[in-house]
Structure 1
Amino acid sequence: MRWSWASFAVLVASSSAQLVTDLTGSGWTLRSQNGSISVPASVPSQQYIDLYRAHVIGDPLYGLNNTDQSWVPLQNWTYTSRALTDLQLSGLLTSTYLVFQGLDTFAHITLCNQVVGDTNNMFRQYIFDVSSILRSCYTTPQLAINFGSAVNITHALSAGPDADPDDNFADSCSTTSSEFSCKPYARKEQSDFGCALFFVLDPTFVTHLARSSSWDWAPSLVPAGPWQPIYAVQLIPGEVHINNALIDIYRKGQQNNLPPDQSQPWVFNASLDFFGTLPSIPGFNVGMSLSLTDANGKHILTQSLGGITKSAGTITGSTSIAASAVQLWWPNEMGAQTLYTATITLTGLLGVPITSVTKSVGFRTIVLNLSPVSDAELALGVAPGAHWHFEVNGQPFYAKGANFVPPDPLWPRVNDTKIEQLFDLAKASHMNMFRVWASGAYLPDWIYDAADRTGILLWSEFEFSDAEYPNATSYLQNYEAEAYYNTRRVNHHPSLALWAGGNELEAIILFFFFSADAPGAIQKQYEQIFLGVLPKCVYANSKSISYIPSSTYHGWLKLDFESTMPQVPRYLNTSGADALYADTDAYNYDANTLFDITSYPIGRFADEFGFHSMPSSLTWETAAAPSELFYPSETVINHNRHTPFGATGDQDALSLAGIQEMTAAVQMYLPVPAKTDRAANFTAWCWSTQVVQADDIAHQIAFYRRGSGMRERQMGALYWMFNDLWAAPTWAAVESTNRQKVLYYAAKDIFSPVIVNAYYNASGGTSDLQIWVTSDLFTSVSGTVSYSWVNYAGAAITVGNLSAGSTSVSIGTVNATQVTALHYADLNSALVANSVDGKDALLQLSVTAKAGGTTYTHNAVFHPATLAQAALRDPGLALTKPKAPTSNSAAGSTYTFTVSAPKAVAAWVWLDVTTNAVTGYWSENGFWLKKGESRSIVFTVWEDWSKGKWVGGVSARSVWDNTLP
């Protein structure tokens, strides 16, 4: 398992003559504030990690540890390096710099017992010139970094001279707030910023109350430490070190937020940030050149960059590249993920290289189109208003994906194995986009590399979420430095899809603070930061990427790139009641209306929607003692952070009320598990919550996808959320162990390129039950839809002229077509007329369509009665297990299992690997089987510690098993 933080060496190695000393790895010491704890440490790291390694604390994510360890973030912690004997103190190496790629968060740095500097932003790179300190260092150099308690510091800042009383409103430092206390005062990952309120107000309540102080899917930890690499650079005059590199690839004439002319050549702009001194020779200017090679190492071109400009610590140049010289990069399932290696070299006298930097790049345009709906589109039936869709290489596409959250609350533990598995899972499930949610951390380059490789676009956000942020000068300067650095750092990745200012910010303004005529202080703060400072950072560095101030956004009225507010926001300025402008962000925890399509929002794009579920019992085993594997155990209650919206009171009672939302849904829609064995019943309950979650989210995705062919021209569905960071009831489709929930497979199915689905309008009308086919392909599709009614025994039902049928269908580019409409009242009448119980009826749907020589198939089921009411039968599931792998490759061994339902229809068939001794994924899972149907399912192994013994433990279950004792 390779630690990817070392990938920063690609940047370090770009400067050949200089001396670079890597300060990462072991040899460090972690010491508590009073010196009572001193343990070996490493970099990158955070205090919880090193304390756990030294057995001072247990795993912070196990059992009740995340609250029992609430004393940890109240301390200051100091990381001290080994003796830095490899730093040269004399000779020609006259300048020495310390480079910190990331310090979390409030740090005081000393070298040789002399002050180097202070930091207050987890998301910035910090560079300090320590030349004078080293020259006056009369002992062996040693680096010390003291990390102050973010809990205590933010509360002090909230009462400081740069704080405004308005900043303490709601989820800031209010004494009535139970979440994310004082978060606006720290440029720090907010998903881990828990516990602060109760630590300060009454530490005696920490253990009981702290778990309500983080996001409602995250543990209450407040990490501190050098979470990214540290290195020292020593230079002689005439040498420079490149510490950041912006590459911006765009079409000639392109402007942010507007679709470019795809016939124009490419502009390749490179802007390198450096420290040190460039050669200074009268009459001579430093040159820049580009060398481009493809994935096979074939040389594509070498060109000089022109228009070179220099400013303090930055040199910039550009060149033009013919469109025919390169191949396009496309998102997953739209085309090839063509990548090139670009080397930008600074050259001195006679073309001698000074230094160079190498980046992986792709050629694509990506735009979030928010332009007004045209008259021609209105004539086609598109609702008035404005678009809200992405276009890649000039092609509007349907965004299919999910929200991506931090994969671990302790970032230094994240490795490329985990990330590659997550992105491979996304690629295999027809996804093309992750929204990288604001309140985590900016993703490192190597995660963008995984996205580049797999074709998963990354809607990226600046780390501001659900709060009012200070706008004193010191804060604004900090925001600008953070945004400027990160915008330049990741811009070369073709997977970068968008920069958003933060999470749900405009929605908060509109709901609580908006005034069109007399904006108040908080609205002005929002506009200054998210419509002023942040877009300036994006637009100053890139022409290739769009910016919006908030994840939920009603769009702009006007773009003016010369203005201090480049986007004039629409807010509530609409052209009429039927006009649509915004994307949607909506949750529903009322079991009674989960599947009521009239309760779903109508918008142009759905960026958040979800429902929670338990992780599997096997994932619970990694975080709880065997005696705690039941509901309601203390660990399960502790790890649940979701409570009913607006509820107050005892934390245990609130947790139980949050879990009750899942329980009520299971009770309404599935047979309730009531197994005599406690462990078996817990497993069945966990799985049942996942089935309801999967059914709900797949139903919503199908609804939103159908919108691509309706008046709303809905063009995206990103469910909440894809991955998880600990074992807990959350909205995730993939558990913290990378084990997949039922939702993962249900979303994979409903994200298929061509789908058929039934839509029942619970409010009644003339077309209660509609059958639609939806396609997200770039070409039109033609095929056949078949439907038939059966009972749960698998026998055909005679229901008048609604019994069975087939019809041809054609679907346009990224569109949906209604196949037929069945009047639900007529169906009930037909069922009664044929002595059929509506609880014993199923509509089976299938579509077979062709496009471009490829055949697409999809199946779906509609059942008028819930599975809790349905006349389920024992399907007699039979599982045939392989005796040996089907194949072996570098991607992993595969095993083929065959499952059949010889006796009856089987609902939500689930093949379960019943051990943690193997990891991997299924080709499909959580599906329906017709009576007599047999299906072969492939399991791909990531890691196997059982030497193949896991195969014997694989089991198959369906909803019918919930009825068994």
Structure 2
Amino acid sequence: MTPRNTLLLNKHWTFKQGGRDAHSSAFPANDLPTEIHLDLLKNDQIPNPFNNLNELSVRWIADETWTYQTTFESPEDHGEPNVKTVMKFEGLDTFASVYLNGNLLLTSENMFVWHEVDVSEHLKTAHELNEVQLVFESARQKGLDLVKQHHEHRFIVHQTEISRGPVRKAQYHWGWDWGPILLTCGPWKPITLETYVSRIRDISVKYELSDDLKSAHVRCKASVDGPGNVIFEISGPAIHGSLKASTVSAQKSLPGQQTFELNDVHLWWPRGYGDQSLYTVQACSVDENGKVLDRSSIRFGLRKAELVQEKDAHGQSFYFRINNIDIFAGGSCWVPADSFASQISLQRYRDWVQLAAEGNQIMIRIWGGGIYEPDAFYDACDEFGVLVWQDFMFACANYPAYLEYLDSVRIEAVQNLRRLHNHPSIVIWAGNNEDYQIVERYGLEYDFEGDKDPQSWLKTNFPARYIYEHLLPKLVSEETEGVPYHPSSPFGNGKSTVLKVDPTVGDIHQWNMWHGEMKPYQLLPEMGGRFVSEFGMEAYPHVETIEKCISREEDRYPGSMAMDFRNKAIGHERRVISYVAENFRIRYDLPNFTHLTQVMQADAMAWAYKSWRRQWGSPGDRKCGGALVWQLNDCWPTMSWAVVDYHLVPKPAYYAIKRAMQPIVVGVARKLQPWMMRPADELWQRDTSHIDLRKNWENVKFDVWASSNRPESVDGEFIIKFISVRTGRELHPSLKIPAKVKANSTTEVVRDRDAPYASLQDPKRPFEIAASDPFVIRAILNVRGQQVASDVSWPDPIKYLDFADRELSVDVSEGSKIMVTAERPVKGFVIGERQGVKLTDNGLDVMPGEKLSIKVEGAAANNLEWRYIGM
């Protein structure tokens, strides 16, 4: 029999504007996969959409029809007896018609689905040329037409225009408050031609772990096209590339199925909790003589995943339990890594996940306005031990539920669930992003408690409830095993949305910092919930990134048209400057303002992660189960909430999260003073004359705690210092407090304790206090004589402090290392990172008597620049 052969149809494509019969000029396209903007750019037909104001000059592309074309030879074995020939289109964006040798082969209206067509009767004989044409109509225009056709539905969308509502296409292509409007189209995933007599189409692995998690009953199943008997083999597990021995025995065999009992199993663990053990199952299709007709394999991991939602003293819990271990899920939200997803290489995906993992991030939430990411992304999450919260692709809209739309969504969900269900990293599927916010804001019909009839939901003006609370959970249950489903992010049992945050139940998106009330980030400890799945603070990327995308020197200043155009967040001008002005002395040139925004964002992340991790509490008292910053990454070079920029260059906030998510951390915080308590909408209405801002430096009360994800308790000693910002001297002897840091819990060390302070007197007016001597509180945790964690509490706001004469010393004599010391406390020491440079830490505070060591890769340390607050 003929073995399976695959031909990748990726070369010699051309494209033109218009339909098949258009007489416009044809240009060479990129090798597939590709998208129209990339092909126009390749041929110098448009400027780079990522630079300057060029996004505006390419908007016309979205309203045109585009045709791709190539020729290929029929395979040698095409037409032989029993040989089937199929074409597979892994992704067509979005309204596509495919013609083969002039005949319509298929039409597609969903970017997220793949298509396969038997072309055995359509191809010419072996070695003859065939012509394939792909016609892509305007998704924007088709969307507008669908809105008119379905006048029975109330289309509502946030962020963008209404045309995206009925279109199953990456929603961020319409633009978002962090990304450009680049409505692209094209063959964004590979196209292949296959010939076979027998083939294995896909492999499914489902399993049940024993109660003690030491053995597993594994069921392997393969979908086979054509004749042949399937034989399965399980090997592994592989841990960091090396194989470990495993006992595997087949228990039962059925056509295309086999059952195994695995003993002494190696579990898959999140990063920091154990090994990322991955087994491999190989399926071989053989004929009656034992000849192999086809071979395929997948990897899978054995793990138990639970979403714990139990009544407790705080309401109802929301946290993850993996392999019977409670996990505080600190991490970030993920948007597509490029406006043109076809140009994200497999290595770039791996680099992103590795960066998150090295930053101690244990979870990534894939946001519902992007794409179902390729296998390479999830493979990397499996290998690095990063948990995945996976949204279905719905975001910030009132989506329809007419029959054709539901059929398309069903196919989309089933295909992606089947493709992804073997990845142990995926521990939750969520129905959408913020769609219940639309329900509340526009008063749509929604009776969570009273109406439990899914068919009735289709008759309301919120028919998508049928998708989120009936269709998708049903499909998740059928296609996966042991993966919980959550109707939306956020969702609190019909109580909690973006607009109405209920911190006692479900997950929340906390946008009363930055958006909403614009509360000070110092109030974040009071703004948590059972699980904070979105929150964020904006910052500029490093200056090199800005200079790459804004070419004119005269545009490189905060507030220029080019800079403001690039930042898509509504009201960003007022919000950024307000937060900077509340906390720092403003320096408005680009390098210094960039630095201030970065230190501000890092401070906000430190407050959030250390405070909400503190609320992790102890078993049975998990007040907060996780925190996911909005967002990890960008889809283009810009100023946004991302903690790492488009070029994979971390901002200081990335390192703040990294430090706060170490296995054991120590936290120190002052009791907030009245100036921080003022609601933003009352700033100009309240009499603040009674507030003595010196109180932020006097009569200070503080807390110290430790948070641990370690499986065992450790004995530690806490050192607490009170260091003058002005002189660098300790104002009081250090406190030394021995304490046991509890396993996988928070240990409260000091509660509401008074801190010392010293008053400065003017010698000419000895009876008046001229000013207080502001001080930092330094907390250090030593375990067995070694420092394992530290934290510092500054007297806010930083702008009132004098940072003259820091006597900072930066030693780069070793070439690959930067050593930093200071005689007086230094705030926000930031090295100007750039593409290709890798640091072990950044965005640090430097304390007297301590030496910071930062390793540098990719550049000589003496070629880097740095700055700090007040420099």
TM-score by length of 1: 0.80
Please state whether the residue corresponding to 2:838 is helix, strand or coil. strand
Distance in 2, Cα, partners of 1:660 & 1:55: 38
> What is residue 505 of structure 2 aligned with on the other side?
581
Task: Map residues 928-939 of structure 1 onto 2, 5 A cutoff.
Answer: 928-939=845-856
| Further displaced range: 287-296 or 402-411 | 287-296
> What is residue 905 of structure 1 aligned with on the other side?
825
Distance in 1, Cα, partners of 2:531 & 2:90: 35
Q: Is the 1:147–1:225 Cα contact (8 Å) retained in structure 2?
A: yes
In structure 1, list runs of 5 or more residues that go unmatched.
1-14, 172-177, 195-213, 253-260, 280-285, 310-314, 374-381, 556-569, 645-657, 675-680, 885-894, 942-947
Q: Is the 2:63–2:141 Cα contact (8 Å) retained in structure 1?
A: yes
**1:522–1:818 Cα change, 3 Å:** farther
**1:605–1:468 Cα change, 3 Å:** same
Deviation per CA, 1:411-438, whole angstroms, max 9, x where unpaired?
1111133222222221222111111111
Please state whether the residue corresponding to 1:132 is helix, strand or coil. coil
| 1:269 matches 2:219 | yes
**1:345–1:328 Cα change, 3 Å:** same
Deviation of 1:578 (Å): 10
| 1:322 matches 2:303 | no
Deviation of 1:230 (Å): 0.7
Q: Is the 1:596–1:761 Cα contact (8 Å) retained in structure 2?
A: no
**1:240–1:170 Cα change, 3 Å:** closer
Deviation of 1:811 (Å): 3.2
> What is residue 36 of structure 1 aligned with on the other side?
24
Please state whether the residue corresponding to 1:182 is helix, strand or coil. helix
Q: Is the 2:205–2:220 Cα contact (8 Å) retained in structure 1?
A: yes
Deviation of 1:823 (Å): 5.5
Please state whether the residue corresponding to 1:960 is helix, strand or coil. coil
**1:505–1:812 Cα change, 3 Å:** farther
Deviation of 1:481 (Å): 0.8
> What is residue 706 of structure 1 aligned with on the other side?
614
| 1:688 matches 2:596 | yes
Question: Percent identity over the alignment?
Answer: 23
Task: Map residues 60-79 of structure 1 onto 2, 5 A cutoff.
Answer: 60-79=49-68
> What is residue 925 of structure 1 aligned with on the other side?
842
- The one of 852, 863, 868 equivalent to 2:794 is 863
- The one of 346, 350, 363 equivalent to 2:285 is 346
> What is residue 204 of structure 2 aligned with on the other side?
246
> What is residue 721 of structure 1 aligned with on the other side?
631
| 1:191 matches 2:172 | yes
| 1:101 matches 2:22 | no
Please state whether the residue corresponding to 1:343 is helix, strand or coil. strand
Task: Map residues 498-897 of structure 1 onto 2, 5 A cutoff.
Answer: 498-509=428-439, 512-513=443-444, 514-515=446-447, 516-517=449-450, 521-522=459-460, 525-555=463-493, 571=495, 580-587=504-511, 588-589=513-514, 593-597=519-523, 600-627=526-553, 628-644=555-571, 658-674=572-588, 681-709=589-617, 713-762=623-672, 769-798=702-731, 804-822=734-752, 837-838=771-772, 840-849=774-783, 857-882=788-813, 895-897=816-818
Deviation per CA, 1:874-920, whole angstroms, max 9, x where unpaired?
32322222465xxxxxxxxxx2122222x42211112224xx5x513
**1:906–1:834 Cα change, 3 Å:** farther
| Further displaced range: 585-594 or 360-369 | 585-594
> What is residue 564 of structure 1 aligned with on the other side?
none
**1:600–1:61 Cα change, 3 Å:** farther
Distance in 2, Cα, partners of 1:96 & 1:541: 28
Letter aligned with residue 593 of structure 2? W
- The one of 18, 29, 50 equivalent to 2:4 is 18
Please state whether the residue corresponding to 1:232 is helix, strand or coil. strand
Deviation of 1:788 (Å): 1.7
Deviation of 1:742 (Å): 1.0
Deviation per CA, 1:81-135, whole angstroms, max 9, x where unpaired?
1333546553336422110111111100000011101011111111111222225
Deviation of 1:508 (Å): 4.0
Distance in 1, Cα, partners of 2:579 & 2:631: 19
Q: Is the 1:180–1:190 Cα contact (8 Å) retained in structure 2?
A: no
Distance in 2, Cα, partners of 1:87 & 1:660: 66
Deviation of 1:613 (Å): 1.2
**1:87–1:550 Cα change, 3 Å:** farther
Please state whether the residue corresponding to 2:615 is helix, strand or coil. helix
Deviation of 1:137 (Å): 11
Distance in 2, Cα, partners of 1:836 & 1:696: 31
Please state whether the residue corresponding to 2:129 is helix, strand or coil. coil
Name the one with the larger helix percent: 1
**1:742–1:578 Cα change, 3 Å:** closer
Please state whether the residue corresponding to 1:118 is helix, strand or coil. strand
Deviation of 1:169 (Å): 2.9
Deviation of 1:56 (Å): 1.0
**1:937–1:224 Cα change, 3 Å:** same
Letter aligned with residue 898 of structure 1? M
Letter aligned with residue 113 of structure 2? R
Letter aligned with residue 936 of structure 1? S
Please state whether the residue corresponding to 2:307 is helix, strand or coil. strand
Deviation of 1:241 (Å): 4.5
Q: Is the 2:234–2:281 Cα contact (8 Å) retained in structure 1?
A: yes
Q: Is the 1:340–1:361 Cα contact (8 Å) retained in structure 2?
A: yes
Task: Map residues 223-242 of structure 1 onto 2, 5 A cutoff.
Answer: 223-236=184-197, 239-242=198-201
Distance in 1, Cα, partners of 2:253 & 2:36: 47
Q: Is the 2:710–2:744 Cα contact (8 Å) retained in structure 1?
A: yes
Deviation of 1:550 (Å): 1.0
| 1:114 matches 2:103 | yes
Q: Is the 1:872–1:960 Cα contact (8 Å) retained in structure 2?
A: yes
In structure 2, list runs of 5 or more residues that go unmatched.
678-698, 762-766
**1:298–1:489 Cα change, 3 Å:** same
RMSD of aligned alpha carbons = 3.0
Deviation per CA, 1:840-875, whole angstroms, max 9, x where unpaired?
22111111246xxx9662111112231101122232
**1:880–1:804 Cα change, 3 Å:** closer
Deviation of 1:934 (Å): 2.7
Distance in 2, Cα, partners of 1:754 & 1:53: 50
Distance in 1, Cα, partners of 2:398 & 2:502: 31
Letter aligned with residue 319 of structure 1? T
Deviation of 1:544 (Å): 2.5
| 1:289 matches 2:276 | no
Distance in 1, Cα, partners of 2:354 & 2:146: 43
Distance in 1, Cα, partners of 2:162 & 2:23: 28
Q: Is the 2:709–2:743 Cα contact (8 Å) retained in structure 1?
A: yes
Distance in 2, Cα, partners of 1:595 & 1:391: 29
Deviation of 1:441 (Å): 0.5
**1:224–1:99 Cα change, 3 Å:** same
Distance in 2, Cα, partners of 1:158 & 1:70: 21
**1:856–1:395 Cα change, 3 Å:** farther
**1:822–1:794 Cα change, 3 Å:** farther
Task: Map residues 79-94 of structure 1 onto 2, 5 A cutoff.
Answer: 79-86=68-75, 89-92=78-81, 94=83
Q: Is the 2:830–2:866 Cα contact (8 Å) retained in structure 1?
A: yes
Task: Map residues 942-961 of structure 1 onto 2, 5 A cutoff.
Answer: 951-961=861-871
| Further displaced range: 583-592 or 77-86 | 583-592
- The one of 112, 118, 125 equivalent to 2:114 is 125
Distance in 2, Cα, partners of 1:834 & 1:77: 78
Distance in 2, Cα, partners of 1:340 & 1:688: 47
Deviation per CA, 1:12-54, whole angstroms, max 9, x where unpaired?
xxx9802321112x31001111443421112100001111111
Distance in 1, Cα, partners of 2:70 & 2:496: 55
> What is residue 680 of structure 2 aligned with on the other side?
none
Deviation of 1:74 (Å): 1.1
| 1:404 matches 2:334 | yes
Q: Is the 2:760–2:769 Cα contact (8 Å) retained in structure 1?
A: yes
